[in-house]
């Protein structure tokens, strides 16, 4: 469904360095990126801000032409066959709507149907189904500008799926959504993938999206593929470490506990690194036995931290 | 081409309905446009009331030139005028949304916020032509009659081409802005607003005039049966469709090149 080989995107950036002089530097947003996504897959694309996720999405959808390498989506060259590709994929941007701001959602969807040339009967059936699954009924006749973010996102999803695309590409679909909307969107995407067989590729900063939805994770960092595999492997290899934040009754020297490294000390607070496989309960019990503890918090490693550690570490984790 | 026309009509109709969502605003804007139009017509009338002959041409003759070129320009403005907002669309990221729809982004940007008000711009040109045509002392041959719609059509095509060219230029102009943005994350781009505006007016001023001589002036000399003051050969009077086609081809090429250069913004 998606084949990316040696893709790169470089931007020439001119900067003023003096009154008249300008220097030209080349910024590599993406370099030597390669991966494939088979039909029916559900893939999460992760990476810190500025890693090249959006650039990748834009190359896949034909918005940007790659400066090197090849990108094939549904067997087409996105930047050269953009319009043909647009009929076969659905695209959702979490940060901006593809709906028409002043139109009621129903009219926006009807316009989308005409632009995508969906035949009337097929459209009605599909709209009824999407209305039901995404619970659109209460706000179908509300102008898009009056919709809440969660409602708008559901409307965007419906608009992107009216033409029954083979592939759905979502750029941060759950950004800014409340817990309920997030759950609706996740549940919907899961059904879309398992029941309809639609291939889904999404970018996110939310590890919850990945845990719930994506059997396979791609991590991009500094424009390169830093990891390609399933979530368990990612956890096992880099995310296994957890952080225990302990607040003691009074400031003291770094704690000494077997197998636990102290990361940071700030007054009475200490950050302890728990290696993978170490039981937090056992460490806490040992801690409480020898010290007066006021408060304890256990933190899973954040996704940005996982990625940062992954990239700082050796390249063994890179895609095979 | 048919696809584009169909999509254009559909989108223009949709935007018209969207504008109808704010009826009061629509009415006020229509009233404002009517007032400006009336002032335009009054201005032209005033000018010619005081100067019956300009550079050896009678008032109806000059009004024919004015009317045909103005009609060409306003038709192209109605059709494609909003394409000059391309730079802003690119900066705001809306342009990316247009690119993922199966419709030419040019059609989408040209129909952006389409309103029937736009047709009001045609009124001064139409009034001027309606006044000037019956007052011309021209021996109307079939060739001269046919030349009138032809020159308006060629002029419209020419101006459309130039709208697209100026829009395509913004792929490059926004370039420098996008680049600084990559470093400053947006802070500096406000200062560059006037630059785009200058560029836009400058390009408009220079490029509209030169090819227009072929598309409007030369055919008008034929219609009015006048010798060319600059002494160009008579054949130049029939080159307007070719010149218009040339400009349109250049515009299409520039637009495609611009799309390939498009570098989008942020996330």
Distance CA B70, CA B126 (A): 9
Tell me which chain B residues have a C-beta less than 8 angstroms from the C-beta of A107: 14, 17
Q: What is the pLDDT of residue B254?
A: 92
For A98, the closest of B17, B97, B264 (CB atoms) is B97
**In the prediction, which pLDDT does A58 show?**
92
Mean pLDDT of B135-144: 86
Backbone angles phi, psi at A260, to 5 degrees: -120, 130
Q: Which residue carries 């007052």 as its tokens?
A: B135
From chain A, the residues in CB contact with B174 under 8 A are none
pLDDT at B206 over 50: no
Residues 6+ apart with CB under 8 A from B95: B86, B89, B105, B109, B262, B264
CA angle A87, A107, B12 (to 5 degrees): 75
Average pLDDT over residues A305-309: 64
What does residue B43 show for φ and ψ, rounded to 5 degrees? Answer: -60, -45
Q: What is the DSSP letter of A56?
A: H
Architecture of domain A2-236: 3-Layer(aba) Sandwich (3.40)
Q: Which residue of chain B is at minimal alpha-carbon distance from A104?
A: B18
B1 contact A CB<8A: no
Arithmetic mean of pLDDT, B44-58:
73
With an 8 Å Cβ cutoff, is B100 touching chain A? Answer: yes
Give the closest of B101, B178, B183 to A86, CB-based. Answer: B101
What local confidence, expressed as pLDDT, does residue A292 receive?
Answer: 86
Whether the CB-CB separation of A219 and A230 falls below 8 Å is answered with no
Its pTM stands at 0.77
Average pLDDT taken over every residue of chain A:
84
Structure tokens at B257: 């090149």
CB of B23 less than 8 A from some CB of A: no
**Residue B188 C-alpha, separation from nearest chain A C-alpha, in angstroms:** 12
A200 - beta bridge partners?
Answer: A42, A168
Question: Across the interface, do B183 and A102 touch by the CB < 8 Å criterion?
Answer: no
Greater confidence (B210 vs A218) lies with: A218
Residues 196-255 of B with CB under 8 A from A: none
Please name the residues in contact with B229: beta carbons below 8 A apart, sequence gap of 6 or more: none
Mutate to test the interface with B, among A30, A73, A82, A94 (most CBs of B within 10 A): A82
Residue A274: in which H helix or E strand, if any?
A: strand A269-274
CA distances from B155 to A5, A97, B109, B138 (A): 47, 37, 22, 21
The answer to whether the Cβ–Cβ distance between A61 and B99 falls below 8 Å is yes
pLDDT at res. B264: 75
Q: What is the CA radius of gyration of chain A?
A: 24
B262 part of contact set with chain A, CB < 8 Å: yes
pLDDT at A320 > cutoff 50? no
Centre a 10 Å sphere on the Cβ of residue A311 and count the other Cβ atoms it contains.
22
As a whole number, mean pLDDT of residues B209-226 equals 78
DSSP string, B193-234: HHHHHHHHHHHHHHHHHHHHIIIIIHHHHHHHT---TT---G
Instruction: State the Cα torsion A275-A278-A284-A290 to the nearest 10°.
Output: -80
Residue B191 reports pLDDT greater than 60: no
Per the CB < 8 A criterion, the answer to whether B129 and B71 are in contact is yes
Which residue would you say has higher pLDDT here, A299 or A195? A195
pLDDT bin (cut points 50, 70, 90) of residue A156 is very high
Report which of residues B236 and A96 the model is more confident about.
Answer: A96
Taking an 8 Å cut-off on Cβ atoms, the answer to whether B101 and A115 are in contact is: yes
For A245, the token pair is 């934040």
Put simply, whether B172 touches A (Cβ < 8 Å) is: no
Kindly give, in sequence order, each residue whose CB lies less than 8 Å from that of residue A213, ignoring residues fewer than 6 positions away.
A42, A44, A186, A189, A190, A193, A200, A202
Q: Is the pLDDT of residue B223 over 80?
A: yes
B191: exposed, middle or buried (Cβ count in 10 Å: 0-12, 13-18, 19+): exposed
* Per-residue confidence (pLDDT) for residue A85, from 0 to 100: 94
pLDDT at B198: 38
What average pLDDT does range A182-200 have in this prediction? 91
pLDDT at A158: 93
Q: Where are the domains of chain B?
A: 2-261
Structural tokens at position A20: 């008249």
Distance CA(B95)–CA(B174), nearest Å, equals 12
Is there a contact between B180 and A15 if contact means CB atoms under 8 Å apart? yes
Inspect the interface and report whether the beta carbons of B10 and A97 lie closer than 8 Å. no
Q: Band of the pLDDT at A60, cuts 50, 70, 90?
A: very high
Query: Which one of A84, A96, A111 has the shortest CB-CB distance to B14?
Result: A111
CA distance B100 to chain A (A): 6
The span from the first CA to the last CA of chain A, in angstroms, equals 20
B16-24: average pLDDT? 80
């Amino acid at each position: 469904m998606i084949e990316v080989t040696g893709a790169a995107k470089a931007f020439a950036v001119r900067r003023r360095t003096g009154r008249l002089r300008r220097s030209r530097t080349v910024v590599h947003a993406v370099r030597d990126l390669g991966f494939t996504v088979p039909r029916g897959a559900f893939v999460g694309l992760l990476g810190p801000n500025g890693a090249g996720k959006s650039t990748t999405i834009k190359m896949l959808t034909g918005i940007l032409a790659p400066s090197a390498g090849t990108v094939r989506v549904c067997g087409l060259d996105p930047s050269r066959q953009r319009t043909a590709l647009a009929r076969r994929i659905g695209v959702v941007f979490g940060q901006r709507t593809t709906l028409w701001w002043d139109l009621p959602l129903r009219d926006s969807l009807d316009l989308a149907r005409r632009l995508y040339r969906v035949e009337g009967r097929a459209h009605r059936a599909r709209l009824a189904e999407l209305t039901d699954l995404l619970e659109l009924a209460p706000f179908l006749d509300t102008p898009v500008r009056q919709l809440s973010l969660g409602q708008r996102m559901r409307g965007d999803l419906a608009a992107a799926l009216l033409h029954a695309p083979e592939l759905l590409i979502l750029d941060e679909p759950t950004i800014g959504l409340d817990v309920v909307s997030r759950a609706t969107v996740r549940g919907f995407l899961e059904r879309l993938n398992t029941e309809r067989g639609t291939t889904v590729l999404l970018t996110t900063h939310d590890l919850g999206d990945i845990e719930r939805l994506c059997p396979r994770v791609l991590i991009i960092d500094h424009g390169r593929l830093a990891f390609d595999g399933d979530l368990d492997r990612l956890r096992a290899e880099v995310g296994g470490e957890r952080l225990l934040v302990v607040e003691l009754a009074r400031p003291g020297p770094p704690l000494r506990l077997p197998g636990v490294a102290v990361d940071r000390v700030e007054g009475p607070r200490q950050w302890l690194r728990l290696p993978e496989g170490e039981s937090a309960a056992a460490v806490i019990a040992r801690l409480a036995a020898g010290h007066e503890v006021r408060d304890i918090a256990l933190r899973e490693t954040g996704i940005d931290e996982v990625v940062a550690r992954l990239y700082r570490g050796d390249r063994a984790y890179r895609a095979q | 081409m048919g696809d584009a026309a169909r999509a254009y009509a559909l989108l223009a109709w949709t935007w018209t309905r969207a504008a109808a969502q704010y009826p009061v605003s629509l009415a006020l804007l229509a009233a404002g446009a009517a007032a400006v139009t009336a002032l335009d017509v009054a201005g032209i009338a005033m000018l010619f009331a005081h100067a019956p002959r300009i550079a050896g041409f009678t008032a109806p003759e000059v009004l024919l030139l004015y009317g045909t070129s103005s009609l060409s320009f306003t038709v192209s403005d109605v059709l494609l005028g909003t394409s000059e907002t391309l730079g802003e669309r690119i900066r705001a990221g809306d342009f990316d949304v247009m690119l993922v729809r199966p419709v030419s982004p040019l059609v989408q940007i040209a129909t952006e916020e389409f309103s029937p008000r736009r047709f009001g711009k045609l009124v001064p040109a139409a009034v001027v032509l309606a006044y000037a045509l019956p007052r011309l002392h021209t021996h109307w041959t079939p060739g001269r009659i046919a030349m009138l719609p032809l020159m308006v059509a060629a002029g419209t095509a020419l101006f459309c081409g130039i709208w697209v060219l100026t829009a395509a230029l913004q792929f490059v102009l926004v370039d420098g802005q996008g680049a600084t943005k990559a470093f400053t994350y947006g802070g500096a781009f406000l200062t560059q607003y006037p630059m785009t505006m200058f560029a836009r007016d400058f390009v408009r001023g220079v490029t509209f005039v030169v090819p227009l001589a072929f598309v409007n002036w030369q055919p008008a000399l034929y219609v009015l049966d006048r010798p060319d003051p600059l002494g160009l050969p008579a054949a130049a009077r029939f080159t307007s469709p070719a010149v218009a086609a040339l400009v349109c081809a250049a515009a299409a090429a520039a637009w495609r090149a611009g799309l390939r250069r498009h570098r989008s913004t942020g996330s």
